[in-house]
Amino acid sequence: MRVILLALAAILCLAPSLQAQTGPVQDLLQTHRALIEKGSRKSIAPAIDAIAASGLTEAQTVLQTWQAKDMWQRKEDKLFFRAEEVAKKTYRLYDFDSGEAVGDFDKGDLKQLKPNSGVRAMIGAALVRFQLSDPDPVRRLAALEAIQRDAEASHLEPLRASIPDEPDATIKARKEQLATLLTLRFGSDEPTRLKAIESIATNISLDSRAALNTLLTTKREISVGPAPEGTNVAAIMKPGKDLDQDAAYDMLADKGLVPPRLSPADIRTTLAAHIDGGKVAGVPVATLNTDEARAKAYAALVAQGMAQSQPTDGEIAAALAAHTIYDAYVEPSAAVTAAAEKALASIKTRVSMNQMLDLALDGISLASIFFLAAIGLAITFGVMGVINMAHGEFIMMGAYTGYVVQQLIPNYTVSILVALPLAFAVTFAAGVAMERLVIRWLYNRPLETLLATFGISIALQQIAKNIFGTQARPLTSPGWLDGAWVMNDVVSISYIRIAIFVLALTFLALFLFIMKRTRLGLETRAVTQNPRMAASMGINPDRVNMLTFGLGSGIAGIAGVAIGLFAKVTSELGSDYIVQSFMTVVVGGVGNIWGTLAGAAMIGFLQKGIEWMNPSNTLAAQTYMIIFIIIFIQFRPRGIIALKGRAAGD
């Protein structure tokens, strides 16, 4: 009797605890306990969906705990809890409904739920609906990305519900766009889906195109007679025209609709299986060494009913005529697929237009690089008539100057601001020295000038290799030049290219100012047109030539800093641009800065256009470009903008 009373007392003491462990969440878990305990990816979906759709505030905690493998089941009463290890093999259980601890238990009294990767992925998909309204914007964005990667019909309603209360305008716009894409795929009624398709007919984003292509996914089907009524047929495949006849027949055979065609291997296998006394259907095995002999023996087996007959050409043609092979849209609604095709065609047109814009921006970018590299040469070659094959090495010297400055000044913005004028000073001095020591003795002797400057070019490259080595050196751009200006999913241009374009325009304006508004420019133009007359007017031609050559060399140094920001800084850097620089000056018109600009634009656009038509072979594109320029020069030897007046006849 005493034992019974003690037991009753224990039960009464435990009753409040057990009562505290029951609640809406626990009741829901117990309802689906069998599925949760089984933990099979094939059968767990109803349990996960029920928890996610319950509307309970604790549902998110349950799913997160389950996904993290922190959900445990107490063996004695099969209740589920969140558990934390407080000592070796001892766990503290927390009630899902109240969040309170219910006691410490030995590991042997508990069972840990360990969902596999497939189940965890399903739980993660269910958690998305909670994350869409999470206070943390990072989690909301992560939820949107998760939906984009693996969208489901169940995501649509939670996504729509989260849009009105979204405080972030950018995230709200992404939610609205994603809701539109999910609507056209998983919308409940056709008019809504058609409206969603129409709304993205002008959207060229990859997501929009991917969603429309999903609607236009097809699968190949075969039917006896015409395609079944109501099937959303994309195309009828006609054997002999759209399909090879043998391949079409094999498709019918794979579906079990017709007897299969027999290959030579099948025939040999069948013959080997019917060898009897060294013969097959009365034909000696030794004679079966040709296809004709094997075919004759096989025909004998067919006649005796011991093998399957090979379908004749007539039987194959009849079978193909009796069946229809067609591609059917996975999407059953013909109106939806028609609208998707129309929208996709409209988008493709817009994509083509944007690709042309992107190609134009690439052409402008490349033209600005060529112009920046050639503007110094336009002075030394175009104005002075000096063929300076070492011009590329002045570009290389400018790039290495920027590299050295960055080693001394770690702040990339400051280092670039210091490197630009310093590169000008270094290459200006090198140009003046070269003009005084070599060029001044070779005026009006183009062949000797070419050979001399070519030798200087080789010497400067070797000096750079001795100082900096053959390994490429980094010239790092400031952080504010990282990335690109992205207009849409098709059109973008890097900030470095934009900076080089602005720099090229700046030096165009600077060059025009010097040549038109300064004494040096006036004297340069005078010496270029008539050195003797300029000298008689008190102008020192030697001094003007020296400063002009130094100016052209200095601008090449600044171009080297700009080019080094995106190209590898090596001793051969200048040689990569010397040919294009000469072509730019010659094609544009020797002695004319506007011609140099026009030549840079022509060569830049031409090279990008040829690369676009043949993107896999850049070398071939350059070859075609050179051939075109050679032909162009034959018809316009003075370039796009030829000099007029006395200078033109020199």
Helix, strand, coil percentages in the chain from 3-state DSSP, rounded to 5 = 65, 10, 25
Confidence of residue 619 (pLDDT cuts 50, 70, 90): low
Residue 339 resides in a domain: no
Higher pLDDT, 103 or 275: 103
Residue 343 resides in a domain: no
pLDDT recorded at residue 398: 92
Residue type, 403: Y
Residue 582 resides in a domain: yes
Instruction: Determine the structural domain holding residue 293 and report its residue range.
Output: 262-310
CA dist 616 → 89, 619, 625, 626 (Å): 63, 9, 15, 18
Element (H, E) at 327: strand 323-329
409 and 540 fall within a common domain: yes
Higher pLDDT, 636 or 465: 465
636 and 504 fall within a common domain: yes
62 and 116 fall within a common domain: yes
232 and 208 fall within a common domain: no
Examine the fold and report which residue of 215, 249, 271 is the final residue of a domain before the chain moves on.
215
| CA dist., res. 160 & res. 176, Å (int) | 8
59 and 193 fall within a common domain: no
Residue 133: name the closest of 99, 72, 175 by CA: 175
pLDDT per residue over 7-61, tens digit each? 444 444 444 444 445 788 888 888 888 888 888 888 888 888 888 888 788 888 8
pLDDT recorded at residue 382: 65
| CA dist., res. 72 & res. 110, Å (int) | 6
C-alpha atoms less than 13 angstroms from C-alpha of 215 in its C-beta half-sphere: 29
166 and 210 fall within a common domain: yes
416 and 275 fall within a common domain: no
C-alpha atoms less than 13 angstroms from C-alpha of 402 in its C-beta half-sphere: 32
407 and 418 fall within a common domain: yes
| CA dist., res. 43 & res. 41, Å (int) | 6
526 and 607 fall within a common domain: yes
Residue 497 resides in a domain: yes
CATH of the domain at 372: 1.10.3470
Residues 6+ away with beta carbon under 8 Å from 181 = 151, 196, 200, 207, 208, 211
Region 258-274: what's the mean pLDDT? 81
Q: What end-to-end distance do the CA atoms of the chain give, in Å?
A: 132
Contact 170, 179 (CB under 8 A): no
Residue 157 resides in a domain: yes
179 and 227 fall within a common domain: no
Contact 123, 67 (CB under 8 A): yes
Confidence of residue 647 (pLDDT cuts 50, 70, 90): very low
| CA dist., res. 368 & res. 365, Å (int) | 5
pLDDT recorded at residue 421: 92
Give the CA dihedral 643, 645, 647, 650, nearest 10 degrees. Answer: 100
Counted domains in the chain: 5
Residue 441 has pLDDT above 60, yes or no: yes
Q: What's the pTM value of the predicted model, to 2 decimals?
A: 0.68
Q: Give me the percent of the chain exceeding a pLDDT of 70.
A: 94
Residue 645 has pLDDT above 50, yes or no: no
464 and 403 fall within a common domain: yes
Residue 459 resides in a domain: yes
233 token code pair: 């047929």
Residue 338 resides in a domain: no
Higher pLDDT, 456 or 291: 456
Residue 342 resides in a domain: no
Confidence of residue 544 (pLDDT cuts 50, 70, 90): confident
600 and 631 fall within a common domain: yes
